[in-house]
């Protein structure tokens, strides 16, 4: 069992979130895939150009939800992990449904469970019913969307982050994408290797 660790390096925080649960209403998801994003020094991060209205939550405090809208169609859920005034966030990229399956199937417009049901950041937020109104929500407080401890994965996979072609080669190569090696709810698993 691991508790969400939201202090220390963002990559370490990202790994510690694997296995933790996201709970909203009757829906519980177990996190299977994450990506770490840093501050202005990370050319792949939304914080690379400094603090903006969109990325303000990344600057802490830790444990708040950073929601952003992507490609004109999808909401993405991140967990802010840095101390106040230091930008860091972990993108929740994949999950497995533990409770509230009927609700998730309806939100995802699916009729049955498949490995890919919540494999993908847009799918995770959709399964939880999230949108901009959850930005800056405290995930460690009771009520609403919350983050809870869960069983840590036995095997870990790691690899480069996805969809960051605009970043420097060094930052593109940084292995800051992590996944549960025993879960099938991981998109594009081929790009990952045992940690």
Partner DNA sequence: CGCCGGATTTAA
Partner DNA sequence: TAAATCCGGCGA
The minimum distance between CB 150 and DNA, in angstroms, equals: 21
Angle made by CA atoms 88, 13, 60, in degrees to the nearest 5 = 35
Residue whose CB is less far from DNA, 143 or 174: 174
The dihedral through the CA atoms of 35, 41, 46, 47 has a sign that is: positive
User: Judged by CB under 7 A, which of 55, 95, 100, 128 binds DNA?
Assistant: 55
Asked if the peptide bond before residue 61 counts as cis, ω within 30 degrees of 0, the response is yes
Residue whose CB is less far from DNA, 40 or 151: 40
DSSP state of 116: T
C-alpha distances in Å from residue 179, one per residue of 10, 30, 95: 15, 12, 10
143 binds DNA (CB under 7 A): no
The minimum distance between CB 142 and DNA, in angstroms, equals: 26
User: Judged by CB under 7 A, which of 4, 39, 120, 181 binds DNA?
Assistant: 120
The minimum distance between CB 117 and DNA, in angstroms, equals: 9
Residue whose CB is less far from DNA, 49 or 155: 49
Residues lying near DNA in the complex (CB under 7 A) are found at 35, 37, 44-47, 49, 52-55, 58, 66, 69-74, 76, 78, 89, 91, 108, 116, 120-123, 161-166, 187-188, 190
């Amino acid at each position: 069992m691991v508790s969400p660790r939201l202090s220390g390096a963002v990559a370490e925080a990202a790994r510690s979130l694997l296995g933790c649960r996201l709970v909203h209403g009757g829906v519980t998801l177990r996190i299977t895939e994450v990506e770490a994003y840093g501050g202005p020094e990370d050319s792949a991060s939304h914080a690379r150009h400094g603090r903006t209205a969109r990325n303000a939550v990344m600057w802490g405090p830790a444990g708040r939800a950073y929601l952003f809208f992507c490609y004109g169609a999808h909401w993405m859920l991140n967990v802010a992990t840095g101390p106040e005034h230091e930008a860091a966030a972990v993108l929740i990229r994949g999950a497995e449904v533990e409770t509230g399956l009927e609700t998730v199937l309806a939100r995802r417009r699916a009729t049955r469970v498949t490995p890919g049901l919540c494999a993908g950041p847009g799918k995770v937020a959709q399964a939880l019913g999230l949108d901009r109104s959850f930005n800056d929500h405290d995930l460690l407080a009771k009520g609403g969307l919350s983050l809870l401890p869960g069983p840590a994965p036995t095997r870990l996979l790691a690899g480069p982050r996805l969809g960051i072609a605009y970043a420097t080669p060094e930052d593109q190569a940084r292995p800051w994408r992590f996944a549960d090696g025993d879960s099938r709810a991981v998109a594009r698993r081929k790009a990952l290797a045992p940690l």
